[in-house]
Amino acid sequence: MIRNTVAITQRELRSYFVSPVAWVITAFFVSIWGILFFAIVTGSREANLRPLLSNFSVTFLFVGPFLTMRLIAEEAKTGTLELLLTQPIREVELVMGKYFAAVGFLMFMLAVTLFFPVLLSVFGNPDRGPMAAGYLGILLQGMAFMAIGLIASSLTQNQIIAAAVTFVVLLLLWLADVVTLGGAAAEIARFVSISQRSQDMLRGVIDTKDVVFFIALIVGCLFVTTQIITARRWR
């Protein structure tokens, strides 16, 4: 069980790192983050990571689709999925393997940004706790994005469609609480809103409810992806 997942994760991760696309995306976003860091820190003159992290979290709306669009759509298109699905592996192992690889690459990108808090600590005296909580929030949010992107990638053979669907869904979830609705609809909108939850974490507040929400969302998405891949066999 674990062996197959690890094998798929390893293969997928390597595929990320040999692909120029991944490096271009990393370079692109790290540059954006660098500019944001520079602008925010020189503007506020505060050793505070929160405004920066809250900007980061928005950029993940774009990072998510890029990192996940390939995962299953490409294999379906090239036919390697056929070979993979006739190997003695379970669908869930395949999905988990793919997902962990995406999360692995996400962590790599986040690790690159650790440069910023290190810089702040060298030249200032930032509050470590909120920074750690903020990173946890970003990571959880990013992991949820990856899981949503994975569903989209399992639905189509076309990477562009997968990316577009992911982006739209993420945007809807992001903006859910912005839409002014009355009564129960507002309650639901606030509940599914990802931005609301991650903003709390970025402030340094880790609420178990939020953590449970993200984990439930991730598990749910992985389950749905597994079902989609199983159902694909019937077509």
Partner 1 sequence: MAVNDISFEVAKGEILGFLGPNGAGKTTTMRILTGYMPPTSGRAVVAGYDIFKESLEARRHIAYLPETVPLYTDMSPRDYLDFVGKIRGMSRSARRSRIDDVAEMCRITEFVDRLIGKLSKGQRQRVGLAQALMPNPDVLVLDEPTIGLDPRQIVETRQVIKNLRGEHTVILSTHILPEVSVTCERVVIINRGKIVAVDTPENLQRRMAGSDTIELDIRGPEEAVQAALRALPQVIGVRSRANNVDSLLFSVECEAGADLRETLASTVVQRGWGLRALRPAAVSLEDVFVQLVTDEAPAA
Residue whose CB is less far from partner 1, 11 or 128: 11
Does position 122 interact with partner 1 (CB under 8 A)? The reply is: no
Tokens read off for 172: 């809807």
Distance in angstroms (rounded) separating the CA atoms of residues 102 and 179: 31
- C-beta of 82: minimal distance to partner 1 in Å? 5
The least CB distance from residue 221 to partner 1, in Å, is: 24
- Residue among 118, 76, 127 nearest 98 (CA): 76
31 scored as a contact of partner 1 (CB under 8 A): no
Distance CA(85)–CA(210), nearest Å, equals 35
Q: Which of 205, 9, 234 is nearest to 102 (CA)?
A: 9
64 three-state secondary structure: helix
> Tokens 């020189």 correspond to what residue?
42
Q: Contacts with partner 1: how many residues (CB under 8 A)?
A: 24
Only one of the segments 78-86, 111-119, 139-147, 153-161 lies at the binding site for partner 1 (rule: CB under 8 A); that segment is 78-86
CA geometry: angle 83, 25, 22, nearest 5 deg: 30
The residue length of the chain stands at 235
One residue of 24, 44, 58, 87 binding partner 1 per CB under 8 A: 87
Q: For tokens 């592996």, name the residue.
A: 89
Q: For the CB of residue 95, give the shortest distance to partner 1 in the complex, in Å.
A: 15
Q: How far is the CB of 24 from partner 1 (least distance, A)?
A: 15
Selected binder of partner 1 within 2, 42, 45, 86 (CB under 8 A): 86
Q: How far apart are CA 14 and CA 6, in angstroms?
A: 12
Binding partner 1 by CB under 8 A: which of 30, 32, 85, 206? 85
The secondary structure of 88-143 as a DSSP string is: S--HHHHHHHHHHHHHHHHHHHHHHHTHHHHHHHHHS---HHHHHHHHHHHHHHHH
Task: Provide the minimum distance between the beta carbon of 149 and partner 1 in the complex, in angstroms, as a whole number.
Answer: 20
Binding segment (CB under 8 A) for partner 1, from list 10-18, 60-68, 106-114, 178-186: 10-18
| Residue 82 lies near partner 1 (rule: CB under 8 A) | yes
**Does residue 128 interact with partner 1 by CB under 8 A?**
no
Rounded CA-CA distance 85/83 in Å is 6
Q: Does 43 bind partner 1 (CB under 8 A)?
A: no
User: Residues 83, 160, 179, 185: which binds partner 1 (CB under 8 A)?
Assistant: 83
| Closest to partner 1 by CB, 182 or 234 | 234
Binding residues for partner 1 (CB under 8 A): 3-4, 7-8, 10-11, 14-15, 18-19, 78-83, 85-90, 233-234
